[in-house]
């Protein structure tokens, strides 16, 4: 070999280990650039783009100074931020809200897994993002040797690594501080975070969303308004009717849709008859999901939205603090209280929440084997059995039974060809696209089943001579993966948000002492309306709830006299302490 060639080992740079290193670094750079392009640089506003970029960059540097592995650090950061971004995108696609940090605290359980398993794409993404990629990163850790400061002696190398870690860690900590340099990003609030597309900013901003915001009564609020002027009323002790309330999952009157003029859009369950005491539009405080917040409003007469972002997690953080509730009020009137629901007691903390509300007995799917596909008729068979058991075991106690259905829960994606006529083909071929024909067709088919089941339930219940009050209502509208908002809705004047309107129907086999006429009723009043229909004693809290209902004509946040709301909130929270500290 000639002496001059000794300095250049032939093709040594392209041997297998070197090729592997080059490919690894190329993969790391491509993955990191893709993460920046689709993640931080894809946020909605410029401040959010800067915020997310600084977060990603400072996290990457923290990993780099900790591991001294360049490719590994780039890939770990790319994986973490893309995992958040993709998870949020999928959640937004299927459940219409992006991923937020409290989801990881409150909703990581077996029941959430059951929901995810209903969507094959979510299963695939979960396996790739949370199992296969971490295993690959572990392999990369072993391949990627610590090159950073490799030529320095140990103590200078450690000193520079520590200095870099302190600087990058400080930058990361400041970025995650609500009062830090990105306070404007944190001030966007959770409502905007739930509806915009800044997936990374939304997630990190929401880390503080579990903190309950106390209800603030404005200075100068009129505290002289009397809210217990009729509390001495004791009701009729000789007639305490059984009360049955049915929460119809994701149900609304489809005649509210301007396009829905077909016979399949008209269902008896929404129309009044001789037993109807009140019916109409129901204003709720959630859309497309969040059944537990409508349960909270029914059980407590309180809107979860009063407490900021933390209100979304009412069964976890608000239910333990409730001082007054419908089941407790009924128990004071001598009632036995029962709830039947087709999920497990651990789902969204249901078992603990219902105990806090004051339910004597809970019947979940561990006892009934009901599930996501159980039609209303199957749920009502369980109700018939439980109702008969309770009547036999407690013949002298009036009963309150809350029943939750689940069949109308999304997705509404059964192929039309698999449905019976006339739902086996598009019902609105000229007016709606394929997706809306699929989802609305599924909804109307399931609604027909609910209508038949409700008619049969009413017939059985009202065939008995015992006094009875029956309420059924929709907890929120379905989302159809967001497509329902493309449909024009016909709602009464004054309703500012047609996405948060469902229905309610209240019946009894006796004539109540009072007449009720609320074409639009807020869900926080349903509990008090049940007490009034049954002519039961009310405490100070439910007396105030009733007076607000009457003074605001069934409205709440859109009450024609807004100052009444401030006075009411001052009374129930400051005087009655409706929520314990």
pLDDT at position 76 is 86
pLDDT at position 232 is 46
pLDDT at position 581 is 78
Q: Among 529, 518, 514, which residue's Cα sits nearest to residue 552?
A: 518
3 state SS of 161: helix
| Chain centre to alpha carbon of residue 542 | 26
3 state SS of 277: strand
| 8 A C-beta contact, residue 357 and residue 322 | yes
Contacts of 366 (CB under 8 A, 6+ apart): 344, 345
Q: How far apart are CA 479 and CA 333, in angstroms?
A: 39
Residue 279 has which token pair? 């019916």
Question: Each residue of 297-313: b (16+ CB within 10 Å) or e?
Answer: bbbbbbbbebbbbbbbb
Hey, which residues does 507 pair with through a beta bridge?
276, 470
pLDDT at position 135 is 67
pLDDT at position 493 is 86
> Positive or negative, the Cα torsion across 535, 540, 542, 546?
positive
pTM of the full predicted structure?
0.76
3 state SS of 399: strand
Contacts of 459 (CB under 8 A, 6+ apart): none
- Angle at the Cα of 348 (from 86 to 125), degrees rounded to 5? 20
Q: pLDDT (tens digit, 0 to 9) for every residue of the chain, 581 residues total? A: 444 444 444 545 445 566 777 787 888 899 999 999 999 999 989 999 999 999 999 999 998 888 888 888 888 889 889 888 988 887 777 655 677 777 776 666 565 566 566 666 666 666 666 666 666 666 676 677 777 776 778 888 788 878 988 999 899 999 998 888 998 888 876 556 666 788 898 888 877 766 788 888 898 899 989 998 765 455 565 679 999 999 999 999 999 999 999 999 999 999 999 999 999 999 999 988 889 999 999 999 999 999 987 888 888 889 989 999 999 999 999 999 999 999 888 777 888 899 999 999 999 998 998 988 899 999 999 999 999 999 999 999 999 999 999 999 989 999 999 999 999 999 999 999 999 999 999 999 999 999 999 999 999 999 999 999 999 999 999 999 889 999 999 999 889 899 999 999 999 999 998 889 898 999 999 999 999 999 999 999 999 999 999 999 999 999 999 999 999 999 999 999 999 87
Rounded to a whole number, what is the largest CA-CA distance in the chain?
115
Q: Among 302, 275, 320, which residue's Cα sits nearest to residue 462?
A: 275
Q: How far apart are CA 407 and CA 110, in angstroms?
A: 20
CA-to-CA dists, residue 17 to 10, 116, 138, 449, angstroms? 15, 41, 18, 65
Q: How far apart are CA 63 and CA 77, in angstroms?
A: 8
Q: How far apart are CA 223 and CA 396, in angstroms?
A: 42
pLDDT at position 286 is 93
């Amino acid at each position: 070999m000639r002496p001059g060639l000794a300095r250049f080992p032939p093709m040594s740079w392209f041997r297998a280990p070197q090729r592997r290193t080059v490919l690894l670094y190329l993969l790391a750079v491509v993955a990191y650039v893709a993460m920046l392009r689709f993640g931080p640089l894809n946020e909605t506003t410029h401040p959010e783009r800067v915020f997310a970029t600084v977060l990603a960059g400072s996290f990457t540097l923290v990993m780099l100074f900790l591991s001294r592995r360049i490719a590994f650090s780039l890939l770990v950061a790319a994986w973490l931020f893309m995992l958040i971004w993709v998870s949020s995108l999928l959640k937004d696609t299927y459940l219409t809200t992006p991923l937020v940090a409290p989801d990881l605290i409150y909703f990581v359980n077996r029941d959430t897994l059951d929901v995810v398993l209903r969507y094959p794409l979510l299963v695939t993404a979960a396996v790739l993002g949370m199992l296969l990629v971490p295993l690959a990163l572990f392999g990369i850790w072993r391949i990627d040797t610590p090159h950073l400061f490799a030529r320095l002696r140990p103590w200078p190398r450690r000193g520079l690594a520590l200095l870099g870690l302190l600087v990058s860690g400080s930058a990361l900590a400041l970025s995650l501080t609500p009062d830090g340099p990105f306070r404007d990003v944190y001030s966007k609030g959770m409502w905007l975070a739930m509806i915009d597309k800044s997936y990374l900013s939304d997630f990190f901003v929401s880390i503080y969303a579990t903190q309950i915001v106390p209800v603030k009564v404005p200075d100068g609020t009129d505290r002289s308004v009397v809210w217990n002027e009729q509390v001495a009323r004791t009701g009729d002790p000789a007639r305490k009717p059984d009360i049955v309330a049915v929460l119809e999952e994701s149900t609304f009157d489809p005649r509210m849709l301007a396009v829905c003029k077909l016979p399949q859009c008209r269902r008896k369950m929404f129309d009044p008859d001789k037993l109807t005491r009140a019916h109409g539009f129901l204003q709720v405080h959630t859309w497309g999901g969040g059944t537990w917040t409508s349960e909270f409003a029914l059980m407590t007469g309180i809107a979860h939205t009063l407490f900021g972002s933390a209100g979304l997690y009412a069964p976890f953080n608000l239910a333990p603090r409730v001082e007054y509730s419908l089941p407790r009020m009924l128990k004071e009137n001598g009632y036995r209280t029962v709830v039947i629901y087709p999920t497990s007691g651990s789902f969204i903390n249901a078992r603990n929440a219902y105990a806090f509300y004051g339910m004597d007995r809970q019947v979940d799917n561990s006892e009934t084997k009901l599930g996501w596909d159980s039609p209303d008729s199957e749920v009502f068979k369980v109700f018939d059995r439980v109702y008969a058991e309770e009547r036999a075991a407690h013949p002298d106690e009036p009963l309150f039974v809350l029943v939750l259905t689940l069949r109308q829960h999304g997705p509404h994606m059964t192929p039309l060809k698999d449905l019976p006529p006339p739902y086996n083909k598009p019902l609105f071929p000229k007016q709606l696209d394929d997706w809306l024909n699929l989802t609305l067709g599924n909804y109307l088919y399931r609604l027909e089943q609910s209508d038949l089941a409700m008619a049969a339930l009413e017939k059985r219940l009202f065939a008995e001579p015992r006094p009875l009050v029956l309420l059924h209502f929709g907890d929120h509208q379905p989302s159809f993966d967001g497509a329902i908002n493309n449909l024009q809705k016909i709602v009464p004047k004054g309703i500012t948000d047609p996405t948060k309107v469902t229905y309610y129907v209240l019946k009894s086999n006796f004539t109540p002492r009072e007449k009720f006429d609320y074409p639009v009723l807020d869900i926080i009043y349903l509990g008090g309306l049940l007490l009034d229909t049954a002519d039961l004693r009310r405490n100070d809290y439910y007396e105030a709830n009733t007076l607000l209902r009457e003074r605001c004509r069934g409205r709440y946040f859109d009450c024609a006299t807004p100052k009444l709301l401030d006075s009411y909130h001052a009374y129930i929270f400051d005087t009655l302490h409706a929520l314990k500290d």
